[in-house]
A and B are shown apart, each in its own frame.
Chain A
Amino acid sequence: MKPKQLIIPLLAMTVIAACVKHQNAPATTQDTPQVTEAKTWFEQNVLSRSPSPNSNNHRATLPRTLRWDQASVVTISGSDAVVVPIQFSKDVYLRADNSGPALFRLSEASRLVIYKDSLNTTTYQQLTFIPDSTMQPGDSTFSGIVLSEDWSGNTLARPSRINSRPAHTTVDIVEQTQVCNTVYGYNYSEDDPSDTYEWSETTCTMYSFASAPLGGHSGLSSPLPVTRTLSLAYFKIALVPPANAIGSIADYIKCFSNYGGSDHTYQVTLCVDQPDPGTTEPWGISSTGVGGSSAGGNPVDVGHTFLVLTENFPGYSIVRNVGFYPSTNVYPWSTSAQGALSNDDGHNYNISLTVNVDNGQFFNILNYISQGNNAGYMYDLNTNNCTTFALEALSAGNVVIPATEGSWMFNGHGYDPGDLGQNINNMTLSSNMTRNNKYSDHPNQYTCN
């Protein structure tokens, strides 16, 4: 498992319990000899010998129990198979790239199946059923992908599709990439939202869905009967609307730690997306009509300046991108709006300056940034724009960058990305600074509880 970038402010997340159940034939409790025999076999041959969980499989690392009291017996290819629900200790939700916006409770999508193979040898598989986006609440048959693993989370067979429909488009997406089987999970506690966290598993090189036969499954001839024991509830995540794209700046930057020792180093990178790269021009000119007229030649792009904050310590880097924006559309003739911080980890830039700072400077910069979401803290294209904000934040950390003010239409003037980019390009660097004239990716890294 790799730590997943924080997709949504989880503390603001609410799982709507008014979910819709996907009702199949209810699994009947079976205290039958088959169940008893299967339980004895599994405890003696698997649980007592099971090696450590596969660390790449987050699900396998979670505490879970087998609900033998809810076990049922189904017939697969003429033989009895015992199906046991798997109960994960917390409310763990999952979805896949191809399961649409709905979430599913992992416990309801996981089953242990104990059966006899073609050589009449008792064996087992842990199956995880991930519905696809064509499966609707109330559907009587399962449609999606099934993962087959051993108790330690190691893959036993490539994922197979069950009942995927011809018009299925999201599987096509998976086929196009032919690498991505990402399962997203959310551990969410309604009673204690602070205990919520997000995880993901990406198995990118192991599978090719494109060649996976429908319903085909190594060892277990068909998991279809097992799907009839499922009772899947659909959940939707509703976000309590925050005032801005980074709903809680405190939450967004909470992973950073304030250590004075030499094993923690801190960097701030000032990234500048100049309107016309390599010039002080404060406005980008479009030749394609994007500026409001199909004739082109319109001033459209004022560029952008943002910060990339990095803490390095042995084996890890914590990276957060922060940019300051207006929270509503602004215009050349209407330049002010409530300010809002945004995650800029996909934003382009053409020149950057990285400054090594100490922990005190770093946290002073964070403190300055933290006001960006405050009600009444205004963005203004002239007096407090993204460039002003970034420069002031650095200044709060005693990092002073020589900056020139520019001027633009409607009597506008102030700091701007065009001038700042050229200032950085021409400045003499201190020993703690690095300049980069080429774009490189700068994704957020590291999540923490």
Chain B
Amino acid sequence: MKHALRLFLLLGSIISNIENGHAQSAAWQQSSHWTLYNLGGVKFYKVKTDSLSFYSSRPLDDDSMHDFLAHASELASEQAPLWMGAFVTSCMIDGKMHKVDISSYGTFFFDETAKKYFQVTQDVRTDWLNYLANSAGSVPSKK
């Protein structure tokens, strides 16, 4: 009986995770107006969402971001990896601006508005980082 209950809970958890993953992917697919910022040396986590407009930026391609985020999944916040710098971006979801910090090396990113960690799949990591790095290089810090 105990085993059956555990199995039931495990299956429930798996199904819930899958549904959450699908729901999250769907939310990212609704995102728009992706923008990448050059904070000019300021720490990425010290700039609030409503201050981003003071920094130089360039638009990212929404379609490309949707592709990268197609299979993004949520990470438990206790499993937060180490940061070694970040690409600071923002997007609009349901009419609300989200500041999204994207790790400069791994697959993870942090939605500061939702206060949630996510990760893209390892197979898109290279293209994702290349796309962001090359985009970032073309944003001058002077606005």
Q: Which residues of A approach B to under 8 Å, CB–CB?
A: 5-9, 97, 100-101, 133, 169-170, 173, 176-177, 239, 241-242, 244-245, 247, 273, 277, 284, 286, 288-294, 298, 300-304, 321, 323, 325-332, 340, 342-350, 381, 386, 438-441, 443-444
State which residues 118-143 of B face A: CB under 8 Å.
119, 122-123, 125-127, 129-141
Contact A304 B85 (CB under 8 A): yes
Which residue of the partner chain, among A173, A244, A344, A444, contacts B59 with CB atoms under 8 Å? A173
Task: Assess A5 versus B85: contact at CB under 8 Å? Given A133-B63, A239-B126.
Answer: no
Given contacts A173-B59, A294-B77, 15 further A-B contacts (CB under 8 A): A7-B134, A8-B130, A176-B59, A288-B45, A288-B112, A330-B81, A331-B79, A332-B82, A342-B105, A343-B137, A346-B132, A347-B104, A438-B41, A440-B141, A441-B38
**Structural contact, A342 and B133, CB atoms closer than 8 A:** yes
A173 contact set on B, CB distance < 8 A: 59
Take A239-B126, A350-B41, A439-B40 as given contacts and tell me if A331 and B82 are in contact as well, using a CB distance cutoff of 8 Å: yes
Please determine whether A348 and B44 come into contact, CB atoms closer than 8 angstroms.
Answer: yes
Q: B76-92: contact bitstring with A at CB < 8 Å (1 yes, 0 no)?
A: 01111111110100000
B17 at the interface (CB under 8 A from A): no
> Considering the chains assembled together, what is the distance between the CA atoms of A439 and B38 in angstroms?
11
- Give B67's nearest chain A residue, CB to CB: A101
Q: In angstroms, how far is the closest chain A Cβ from the Cβ of B141?
A: 5
A439 contacts across to B, CB distance below 8 A:
40-41, 141
* Contact indicator A325/B104 (Cβ below 8 Å): yes
In the complex, which residues of chain A have a beta carbon less than 8 angstroms from the beta carbon of B59? 97, 173, 176-177
Complex Cα gap A304–B105 (Å):
11
11 contacts between A and B (CB under 8 A): A5-B138, A241-B123, A241-B127, A245-B125, A247-B126, A284-B83, A300-B82, A301-B83, A329-B103, A332-B82, A344-B133
**B79 contacts which chain A residues (CB < 8 A)?**
292, 331
Q: Which of A293, A323, A342 neighbours the largest number of chain B CB atoms within 10 Å of its CB?
A: A342
Contacts of B28 in A (CB 8 A): none
Closest 9 CB pairs of A and B: A346-B136, A439-B41, A292-B80, A325-B105, A345-B137, A329-B81, A329-B106, A443-B137, A245-B129
Q: Does B61 contact A (CB under 8 A)?
A: yes
Question: Are B61 and A386 closer than 8 Å at their CB atoms?
Answer: no
Tell whether, in the assembled complex, residue A381 and residue B82 are in contact, meaning their CB atoms are under 8 Å apart: yes
Known contacts: A273-B85, A329-B107. The answer to whether A5 contacts B134 by CB under 8 A is yes
Residue from B64, B103, B106 with most neighbouring chain A CB atoms (10 Å): B106
